[in-house]
Amino acid sequence: MEPTQAQAADPTEMVRPGAPGDGLILDPNDWRLDHLPESDREKLRGIVEWFEQRGKKALKEADRNHEWYSDFIDAQAELGIFRDFLTPERDSDGDSDRYWDTQRISAFNEITAFYGLAYWYTWQVSILGLGPIFMSDNEAARAKAAGLLADGSIFAFGLSERPHGADIYSTDMVLTPNEDGSGWTATGEKYYIGNGNEAGMVSVFGRLEGVEGPEGYVFFAADSKHPNYELIRNVVNSQSYVSQFRLNEYPVEVADVLHTGPAAFDAALNTVNVGKFNLGFGSIGICEHAFWEAITHADSRVLYGMKVTDFPHVQQAFTDAFARLAAMKLFAWRAIDYMRTAAPDDRRYLLFDPITKMKVTSEGERVVDLLWDVIAAKGFERDMWFEMAARDIRALPKLEGTVHVNMALVLKFMLAYLFDPDAELAAPERQLEPGDDSFLFEQGPARGLSKIRFGRWEDAFEPFAGVPNVDRFVGLAESFKELLATAPPDEAQQKDLDFLLTLGELFTLIPYGQLICEQAALVGLPLDTLDQIFDVFVRDFSAYAVELLGKASSTEAQQDWARSVITKPAVDPERFDAVWAKTRALAGGYEMRP
């Protein structure tokens, strides 16, 4: 008899075979987080209740009117969420509820985005603002931040500038030394800085006047209420406050300095690696709420004498959207384990982190587009939550230097991942125990990527040998490795980002599939769902191969390879019908209170 479900070594509430959508789509009214302490679950239930009591009408009006969400900030402060979730253990003053745990942080990411990107955003940019502070040796600054968190404050990350974007090699924020040597004055503008209007502390990146190169970099803390801090405007048309501000000879004391020299540069990169990991979970939350609305609407509509969900193309769209969303969740939640087990000699998370930022968020756009193709004009209506999702899902792939920046980072690991694995390097255990992820604030220099090694990617797929589309995908992955060995990018192609982006898409599918299989084995994912996920991936691989075939610079050997791998997934009507049935069963399962 064919197996129907992966054997779960550590089953949790994440997957509930037999439930609508295998229990994979977040339902705030039935949200099981058994791996979190009861005190954390109470906080998360409290914020869900706050949103539900407000209701969809009030939430939508606040969005349309661009209302600053002080009520949300007050609600989280009363519950102690930022205070407890965003204070690392070493700065907790012995409070056992305060520690930095990526599991509960990711859960809060998902639920805030489920209700609105603005609420997720103020939390996300607070994490970025706290990064340089809690990564520093400045105990007074860390204590101040911990105290502000206890008071319910939010934070900001002053890195980007209008002329340079997030290019940390260039900054026009200049610190001029005082004549008496007591400190500096900072002058310059920052642009696209979330929470810059109300942040209790703003981590600002700049350079010391007259000091060239990396030795001149500096991170310091500023106060958004200081008279020399000039708040210019909100640069976006949104409920979120994404500020432009200027420091006008702002006094910087020695006690305000967080990092100097190369350490400031490292703090910027390490903060982005920690903070922008949240983007994937923001995308997941948006997609889940949109999914509930879309499937419920479509299943209640009758056109041409048929239910909308009885049309074959609608069933295909919803099933693909479900498979893609399930894959997003499986990958992102498995990536947490690599974040939490990171150490000086194990930084594999630096591959899976940009994939979370890039691939998961891009997949979120595809999910919403599939849903929107079904509900069509309904997705524009002012009373639909979906209207917010259709707009906001676009932001997430673009909030970290665009997909291109993250793809360039992913490509740095391709050869080591495929050709130089460490067979002794095992995949991490699931990291469900509450605890402080201290390494994230003790990473040190952001260098040495070429030394990072990975285990054998094939190991993750072996438990699922015999699942038709997993087998087909593994064959395509092995063929891709052969392409790199026999017809690798030539010198010109290695400088051609247009070519490399498509090559990178092909490569990214392999680690993406790896972590999905690892998580599937850990949580007992039904095999029909896994097979449907890889049905999508086989089609995606073929589509990227067609792109490679059409590139102006592709060689004859590369074109021959592309033609050879264009294929269709293994077709199984019974499997499709089974996955469609659990997808359709979501209809009517959740609706936000009006």
Complete DSSP assignment for 265-280 = HHHHHHHHHHHTTHHH
Cβ count within 10 A of residue 433: 10
Closest CA to 375 of 305, 294, 293, 310: 294
Which pTM value belongs to this model?
A: 0.96
* CA 409 vs CA 17, 70, 536: distances in Å: 36, 37, 25
Q: How far apart are CA 101 and CA 14, in angstroms?
A: 18
Given this model, what pLDDT does residue 407 score? 87
Given this model, what pLDDT does residue 4 score? 64
Q: How far apart are CA 87 and CA 83, in angstroms?
A: 6
Give bridge partners of residue 419 from the DSSP assignment. none
Per residue of the chain (594 residues), give pLDDT as tens: 344 676 554 445 678 888 999 999 999 999 989 999 999 999 999 999 999 999 999 999 999 999 999 999 999 999 999 999 999 999 999 999 999 999 999 999 999 999 999 999 999 999 999 999 999 999 999 999 999 999 999 999 999 999 987 777 789 999 999 998 889 999 999 999 999 999 999 999 999 999 999 999 999 999 999 999 999 999 999 999 999 999 999 999 999 999 999 999 999 999 999 998 999 999 999 999 999 999 999 999 998 999 999 999 999 999 999 999 999 999 999 999 999 999 999 999 999 999 999 999 999 999 999 999 999 999 999 999 999 999 999 999 887 556 778 888 899 999 999 999 999 999 999 999 999 999 999 998 888 888 999 999 999 999 999 999 999 999 999 999 999 999 999 999 999 999 999 999 999 999 999 999 999 999 999 999 999 999 999 999 999 999 999 999 999 999 999 999 999 999 999 999 999 999 999 999 999 999
Dihedrals phi, psi of 3, to nearest 5 degrees: -65, 145
User: In this structure, what DSSP letter does residue 448 have?
Assistant: -
Angle between helices 312-340 and 278-299 (to 10 degrees): 160
Given this model, what pLDDT does residue 13 score? 63
CATH 2.40.110.10 maps onto the chain at 156-261
Write the DSSP assignment of 184-241 as a string of letters.
EEEEEEEEEEETTTT-SEEEEEEEETT--SGGGEEEEEE-TTSTTEEEEEE-SSSSS-
CATH 1.20.140.10 maps onto the chain at 276-420+461-584
* CA 192 vs CA 125, 257, 334, 377, 397: distances in Å: 11, 22, 31, 32, 16
CATH of 156-261, one of 1.10.730.10, 1.10.340.30, 2.40.110.10, 3.40.50.720: 2.40.110.10
Q: How far apart are CA 188 and CA 173, in angstroms?
A: 4
What b-and-e string marks burial along 346-381, b requiring 16 or more CB atoms within 10 Å of the CB?
ebbbbbbbbbbbbbbbbbbbbbbebbbebbeebbee
CATH 1.10.540.10 maps onto the chain at 20-154
* CA 100 vs CA 18, 119, 202, 446: distances in Å: 34, 20, 20, 21
Q: Provide the CB-side half-sphere exposure for 551 (13 A, CA).
A: 25
CATH of 276-420+461-584, one of 1.20.140.10, 1.10.10.410, 3.40.50.10860, 3.40.50.720: 1.20.140.10
Q: How far apart are CA 247 and CA 576, in angstroms?
A: 59
20-154 — its CATH code? 1.10.540.10
> How are the residues of the chain apportioned to helix, strand and coil, as percentages rounded to the nearest 5?
55, 10, 30
- The residue type at 97: D
Q: How far apart are CA 363 and CA 387, in angstroms?
A: 18
Given this model, what pLDDT does residue 492 score? 95
Classify strands 229-234 and 242-253 as parallel, antiparallel or unpaired.
antiparallel
Strand, helix or coil at 100?
A: coil
Given this model, what pLDDT does residue 82 score? 98
* CA 491 vs CA 488, 494, 561: distances in Å: 9, 5, 19
Given this model, what pLDDT does residue 308 score? 95
